[in-house]
Amino acid sequence: MTDWPSLPFLALLVPLLGGTLILLAKPFGLRLQRILGLLLTLGLLFVSVDLLEVAFEQGHRVYTLGNWAAPYGIVLVLDALSAMMVSLTTVLALAALWYAIASGIDRQGAHFHVLFQIQLFGLNGAFLTGDVFNLFVFFEVLLLASYGLLLHGGGRLRTRGGLHYVVINLIGSTLFLFAVGALYGLLGTLNMADMAQAVADLPTSDLAPVAAAGLLLLVVFAIKAAFFPLYLWLPGAYAETSAPVAALFAIMTKVGLYAIIRVHGTVFGPEAGELAFYHQPFVLTAGLIGLGMAALGVMAAKGLRNQVAYLVLASVATLLIGVGLNTPQALGATLYYLIHSTLVAAALFLLADLIAKGRGSYADRFESAPAMPQAVLLGGFFLFGAIAMTGMPPLSGFMGKVFILDAALAHDWSAWVLGMILVSSLLMIVAMARSGSLLFYNTLDGASNGEALNRPGLVSVLGLFLISVGMVVFAGPILGMTEAIAERAYDVGPYVDQVLNTPTQDAQWLKGGH
Amino acid sequence: MNLLAFNLPLVVLLPFVGAAFAAWASRLNRLGAAYTSGLVTLLSLALLMPSVPLPFHDQTLIQTWDWVPDLGLYFSFRLDGLALLFALLILVIGLLVIFYARYYLSAKDCMGRFFAYLLMFMGSMLGIVLSENVIQLVIFWELTSITSFLLISYWQHRKEARQGARMALAITGAGGLALLGGMILLGEMVGSYQLTHILAAGDLIRAHDWYLPALILILLGVFTKSAQFPFHFWLPHAMAAPTPVSAYLHSATMVKAGIFILARFFPALSGTIEWTLLVGGAGLITLLIGAYTALFKHDLKGLLAYSTISHLGLITLLFGFGTQLAAVAAIFHIINHATFKASLFMVAGIVDHETGTRDMRRLGGLIHYMPHTATLAMVAAAAMAGVPLLNGFLSKEMLFDQAVIASSISHWALLLPVLVTIAGLLSVAYSVRFIMDTFFGQPKSDLLHTPHEPPRFMKIPVDILVVVCLAVGILPALTVSPILETAVAGTLQAEVPDFSLAIWHGFNAPLMMSIAALIGGVALFLKRDTLFQLYQRHEHVDAKRYFQASLQGILNLAQTVTQRFDKGSLQHASAWVIAVSLAAGIVGFAGFNGSLLGETPVQSVDTLTVIVGLLGALAALMTAIWHRKRFVSLVVIGVVGLVIAIGFVKFSAPDLALTQLSVEVVTIVLLLLALYFLPQASPKEINRVRLWRDALLAGVSGIGATLLTLSVLTRDFDSISTYFLENSVPGGGGTNVVNVILVDFRGFDTLGEIVVLALAGLGIYSLLQGMTLPAPKNDLRGRLWNPDKHPLILQTLTRLLLPLMLMVAVFVFLRGHNLPGGGFIAGLIASVALIVQYLANGIDWTRTRLQIDMHWAIGLGLLIAIATGLVMMAMGYPFLTSAFRHMHWPVVGEFELASAIAFDLGVFLVVVGATVLSLVQLGRLSHSSHAGSTWKS
């Protein structure tokens, strides 16, 4: 383990500097850009491992950007939760990037690798920042990078999906400014830890506007996290974009969710008096309704990629339920499910692309087509993915659901949670059995006009699936880890103390003088 | 190394590993898969052997490893009498089925897949019966659903196979989920997922509030898996599977998994009135419906399927009685049914194999062609009918006995002996029919080929099973008694009650019932033609149709709901977002204490401010009203921007005003370029409802935003901004606080924002790369564009202005740290200067004179900004720490050099690069707008 003071910042520096260098390397060709992209992402993987170790061993680590102490300057805060998110993102990015290179999708337009790295910069920034306005900036970075990636490769439907995505998210950005502006006006600060203190000391007469602004901010995150009924941008955008981008975007909804856990969980956390966790019932309700709607969407889907997009929505809704249950145990279970659902959803997007290419002109539509090349192999993969994603045993989806159900029993709404999760699982199982049967069993005679299987691309899917298996075998230690993370996330005190008491370095000799 | 410390998981996992080997072996040799599977099964059996004596000595073997101990999940296995009985059934019958299937499957069928699935199924089934942890049990339970889906759909080209498989998966999958729910409740009640604890906590469970929900959920699992009414209908459709699968899964093992749960949780759940009503009721109905329907099935496998349903009902009914002796009878019948039903399925498979049909109306007289098979069938069918000296007789007597005992409970219960006798009678009738219509009577001539005995070895599994039927039937005490007693001990988790397995109990009620059933059954068979006619006259409930109709119903609902909500319409989606935001604001204000407005009095406003403010509002309104004339609305929206800039000036924010102005200019140019390619007028919105909806949303949003702002502004403002004012000069080395905030206090935000800008430029570039759009040749009224693309005066003037504008940019840039200005504004000014050149002189003219790839400007700008921060990092300070020095140079005089200026230079470059890149890219989209000419000059 290497540990130096700037470690948290490295997770941002690597992709930012990397993206810039890849941009400058453009005249030297795609090959160099690819190598740089892979090396940088691998480098980021090492950084993530370090981050995890440091976070677990030392608790919170605060990095004062510009040597300005919180709450005046911007700080990055490394803790177990943010380290986990950064690591998850990196693993996902590696699989997506490998697939993009293996399938040559990165060749279909300019700047794929630049956008990819900057996207990682935005993601890691959103996970690490301790400042609400800085979070807004990273949301903008994310939005622009993801919009560029969404449209990568072009096409009518893709552009349409991208437009919906960007317009809805721009409304979200505007709302973000309203909410942050109001909160700054009321609390006088932008640093999350400082805001938490301000809310704890809030005079009763100011509760209402703060509550309203907090809920507006929740709506902003809810758009990102694809809450019901704000998820309408997602199915079109995810189903129409290129496979590696859709795979990488499996983490995008989790950014919104993370922001809720981080911002609302801190500012409106256990110390917030009347406002303590006042947002959670909304999260839980949105999750319950959203899960039902998503399950119906999975059933109604007419193509595989659309179906996977709705499966993503279902997994997000399940996560919302877990967060909304509002106990450390439930959050621990949710984080386990979050890792699982992110990786498996990504794998399914990649797999859907391989299947669609194998079926040629039939693409991923649910209609009978001639058998695709390597149908048995792909069918096995599909079965695996379907089992994992619908939460059937013995894969990680099942474990995650069991953990969440177990945690739900303590809640007043446990019957609703149990019922909704089990019924929606059934609907999704039925739907996936139907689509698998259509894609692999109910085939027409004759040869497919699709492409041969891209085996290097399949490696990404395999890798992600293997992690799912690993998550079952090592469910104990992994759940132990996510539960520890959840415990710390609920223990806001040390976070606030550490952020507000991290001193800056003496830099007097740099300032002024003759 | 003690094998007893870890053999159980090996018994379970070996078949899964073996499945991979079987699939692989089939590539080497067509029969390789079969032999591998047989070997794997034998090996599993051998691994089980050392622990077999334990249950006989009343010992329970438990092997546990930690899995997720926090939640009570253990990788945990258990061998007691009940588990042993089931494990032996699964392995031994599995072995026989593998043997049989090796002959059954034709050369066309893929052996590897079949045997791999079969082994995986076997492993899952073993997992269910050997689990100590109930969540682990559910895992294996669902695995049997998945593997049985694969096995039923093995002949995937057949529609009925695919449909049957999906139906089975839907029903048993649903049951599995319910079972999971039940187990989680059970675990919560007991505080443990370990069977040992659950079985010992029967009293606690039965007294718990959650007993009934848990019981119902668990029974849903049981009834779906074991094909109990009203979920029985999937089983006949699962018969689309190859016959070895039917013999194994759908008679001997998988359908017994539900029964297994009844037995397993008997000590924990039974003994309540709810248990008796639910379990006994479902069992009784299933027993009767199954037996009745079986009589009318012409398909051999159909008959056997309904007979299986009926016998499963029988076992369920016995468990429903809830007494210990009934449990003994139930366990005994499990063994008996497995033996005679598996052999009958194999016979059906042989008949199908040899004649090409299973329709009893087309069969007959087969005894002449296959006497051996016919003999086996007769013995097995006699066992099914409950003929004395066969095993089925013994357990059926026990049922009758239990029914008579139970009849004393109430008046209604008096019906019980009658009903079970009727069921027995029906079972005799269909057993007789199975034999008579297949093997006796006139041979039919329209068969595909002349039937003959199957290969000798194909019959061996049937031989063995039939011998067991006889041995148990004649010498029960010597054969089945020890294992039965052990299994009962395992089930009850208590002393085994006294029971007698004798054939002769004297002339008692059960014997009378048996005789009545036998005579009545034969009589019924003889009258069968009349019965069939009667049967056909009535409509019959086709459960499959209902199932598919309800599935279709759900599908339709799913599609309607999804299409209604996910319309793919941006307006619809945006309306939801805005409506939810409004709701959020209202709920926040309404739900908590505190007035809408604060204490601070609202300042009075002067007339000029009001007029300018109203002008802005009017302009915003007109933009909306004139939105269909895009050019006009663009001009009007410029007014809004201008008013905002004036507002900044009024409230002493010259930096913001400057930024706003220059952003406004660049944005308008950008929009103008974009408008050029868009339709010049928007279509009229004709949907009045939507129009009013949108107007309402917009109006309320405006009011909401105003109120929120007022609410904030009328409260005390006590913020961190004083710190910025105090530290701007000593800490940031600049007197322009806005600029110091931008490049120092919150320089990292600015870094993020220039990344955004860079992304916008690169994004526009890559989106429009290689794209050409046809542009209109005339304006809205049909007038051609002015042919003079680059008016001379404009050209001359802009070329003259260029150095001047750049000078202004440099000036604004340099003064930025202390006076209004800075890299961002300077960058915008420089961009405007360059863009004007492109506009006035054309892209190609400008490019030959300005040979800078704007990609470089962006990249370099970012690099400079980052490097500024990195230098400080190298010196051991955090990223973007600023440094400054007061310098005194001759001539220049006193000035200050701040590291932030380098950062600002990066900002400047990115702004110029991104702005020019995107505008030029937009400008060159079309090369054919001016009739006959191009943008080239």
Check CB contact under 8 Å for A427 and B748: no
| B851-900 pLDDT, tens digit each | 778 889 999 999 999 999 998 888 888 898 888 877 777 777 777 778 88
pLDDT attached to residue B447: 66
Name the pTM for this structure.
Answer: 0.93
3-state helix, strand, coil in chain A (%, to 5): 75, 5, 20
Inter-residue contact A283 to A260 (CB < 8 Å):
yes
With bands split at pLDDT 50, 70 and 90, how would you rate the model's confidence at B926?
low
Report the mean per-residue pLDDT for chain B.
Answer: 87
Q: Which residues in chain B are closer than 8 Å to A210, comparing Cβ atoms?
A: 592
Nearest CA among B268, B271, B260 for reference residue B320: B271
Check CB contact under 8 Å for A426 and B174: yes
Q: Is the pLDDT of residue B786 over 80?
A: no
Q: Is the pLDDT of residue A2 over 60?
A: no
State how far residue A454 is from chain B, nearest Cα, in angstroms: 23
Q: Which residues in chain B are closer than 8 Å to A205, comparing Cβ atoms?
A: 593-595, 598
C-alpha to C-alpha distance for B573 and B584, rounded to whole angstroms: 17
With bands split at pLDDT 50, 70 and 90, how would you rate the model's confidence at B927?
low
Residue B928 CA neighbour count, 13 Å, CB half: 5
Check CB contact under 8 Å for A209 and B589: yes
pLDDT attached to residue B814: 86
Cβ neighbours around B29 below 10 Å, total: 12
Check CB contact under 8 Å for B877 and A510: yes
pLDDT attached to residue B931: 41
Segment 7-36 of chain A within 8 Å of chain B by CB: 9, 13, 16-17, 20-21, 23-24, 26
A222 interfacial to chain B (CB closer than 8 Å):
yes
pLDDT attached to residue A159: 86
C-alpha to C-alpha distance for A27 and A21, rounded to whole angstroms: 11
Residue type at B196?
T
Segment 127-166 of chain A within 8 Å of chain B by CB: 133-134, 137-138, 140-141, 144-145, 147-148, 151-152, 154, 163-164
Select from B562, B753, B887 the Cβ nearest to the Cβ of A300.
B562
With bands split at pLDDT 50, 70 and 90, how would you rate the model's confidence at A185?
very high
Q: Is the pLDDT of residue B542 over 80?
A: no
pLDDT attached to residue A92: 97
Mean pLDDT of A64-88: 93
pLDDT attached to residue B396: 87
Check CB contact under 8 Å for B188 and A406: yes
| B323-341 pLDDT, tens digit each | 888 999 999 999 999 999 9
Q: From the candidates B12, B582, B592, which should be mutated to test the interface with A, based on the most A CB atoms within 10 A?
A: B592
E strand or H helix at B61:
strand B61-68
Q: Is the pLDDT of residue A144 over 60?
A: yes
Select from A141, A207, A392 the Cβ nearest to the Cβ of B594.
A207
With bands split at pLDDT 50, 70 and 90, how would you rate the model's confidence at B934?
very low
The domain spans of chain A are 7-502
| B425-481 pLDDT, tens digit each | 999 999 999 998 888 888 776 666 678 888 888 889 999 999 999 888 888 888 888
Mean pLDDT of B510-515: 85
Any idea what the Cα angle at residue B692 is, between residues B690 and B694, rounded to 5°?
Answer: 70
Q: Is the pLDDT of residue B684 over 60?
A: yes
Check CB contact under 8 Å for A204 and B178: no
Check CB contact under 8 Å for B580 and A219: yes
Q: Is the pLDDT of residue A514 over 60?
A: no
Select from B585, B733, B767 the Cβ nearest to the Cβ of A215.
B585
Mean pLDDT of A221-243: 93
**What size, in residues, is chain B?**
937
**What burial class does residue B88 get, using C-beta atoms within 10 Å of its C-beta: 0-12 exposed, 13-18 middle, 19+ buried?**
middle
| A13-54 pLDDT, tens digit each | 999 999 999 999 988 989 999 999 999 999 999 999 999 999
pLDDT attached to residue B404: 86
pLDDT attached to residue B645: 93
Question: Over pLDDT 90: what percentage of chain A?
Answer: 79
Of A172-181, A315-324, A475-484, B872-881, which gets the smallest average pLDDT? B872-881
State how far residue B177 is from chain A, nearest Cα, in angstroms: 6
The CA-to-CA distance between both ends of chain B, in Å, stands at: 91
Cβ neighbours around A453 below 10 Å, total: 18
Mean pLDDT of A172-185: 94
| B394-436 pLDDT, tens digit each | 888 888 888 888 888 777 778 888 898 899 999 999 999 999 8
pLDDT attached to residue B611: 92
The CA-to-CA distance between both ends of chain A, in Å, stands at: 42
C-alpha to C-alpha distance for B291 and B399, rounded to whole angstroms: 15
Inter-residue contact B77 to B60 (CB < 8 Å):
no
Nearest residue in chain B measured CA to CA from A133: B749
DSSP assignment, residue B409? S
Comparing B509 with A309, the larger pLDDT belongs to A309
Check CB contact under 8 Å for B588 and A214: yes
Residue type at B423?
A
Mean pLDDT of A313-339: 96
C-alpha to C-alpha distance for B372 and B458, rounded to whole angstroms: 12
Report in angstroms the alpha-carbon separations of A439 from A217, A352, A375, A445.
Answer: 42, 11, 9, 13
Residue B699: CB partners within 8 Å, gap ≥ 6? none
Q: Is the pLDDT of residue B848 over 60?
A: yes
pLDDT attached to residue B936: 38
Q: Which residues in chain A are closer than 8 Å to B587, comparing Cβ atoms?
A: 212, 215
Inter-residue contact A288 to A416 (CB < 8 Å):
yes
Backbone angles phi, psi at A444, to 5 degrees: -90, 160
Any idea what the Cα angle at residue B663 is, between residues B658 and B666, rounded to 5°?
Answer: 130
State how far residue B591 is from chain A, nearest Cα, in angstroms: 7
Of B114-118, B481-485, B553-557, B885-889, which gets the smallest average pLDDT? B885-889
Tokens 């009667």, residue located: B534
Q: From the candidates B762, B863, B866, which should be mutated to test the interface with A, based on the most A CB atoms within 10 A?
A: B762
| B898-921 pLDDT, tens digit each | 888 888 899 999 999 999 988 888
| B129-165 pLDDT, tens digit each | 999 999 999 999 999 999 999 999 998 888 889 989 9
A and B: number of Cβ contacts within 8 A: 376
**What burial class does residue B690 get, using C-beta atoms within 10 Å of its C-beta: 0-12 exposed, 13-18 middle, 19+ buried?**
middle
Nearest residue in chain B measured CA to CA from A211: B588
Inter-residue contact B373 to B454 (CB < 8 Å):
yes
C-alpha to C-alpha distance for B302 and B307, rounded to whole angstroms: 8
With bands split at pLDDT 50, 70 and 90, how would you rate the model's confidence at A180?
very high
State how far residue A109 is from chain B, nearest Cα, in angstroms: 6
With bands split at pLDDT 50, 70 and 90, how would you rate the model's confidence at B737?
confident
Q: Which residues in chain A are closer than 8 Å to B705, comparing Cβ atoms?
A: 178
Nearest residue in chain B measured CA to CA from A506: B877
Report the mean per-residue pLDDT for chain A.
Answer: 92
Nearest residue in chain A measured CA to CA from B749: A134
Cβ neighbours around B481 below 10 Å, total: 15
Q: From the candidates B68, B548, B707, which should be mutated to test the interface with A, based on the most A CB atoms within 10 A?
A: B68
A256 interfacial to chain B (CB closer than 8 Å):
no
Check CB contact under 8 Å for A134 and B748: yes
Select from B162, B856, B888 the Cβ nearest to the Cβ of A437.
B162
Q: Which residues in chain B are closer than 8 Å to A133, comparing Cβ atoms?
A: 746, 749
> Which residues, in sequence order, are bridge partners of residue B68?
B73
The per-residue DSSP string of B160-177 comes to HHHHHHHHHHHHHHHHHH
State how far residue B890 is from chain A, nearest Cα, in angstroms: 15
Check CB contact under 8 Å for B181 and A208: no
Is the bond into B230 cis (omega within 30 degrees of 0)? yes
The domain spans of chain B are 7-269, 271-497+506-550, 722-780+788-937
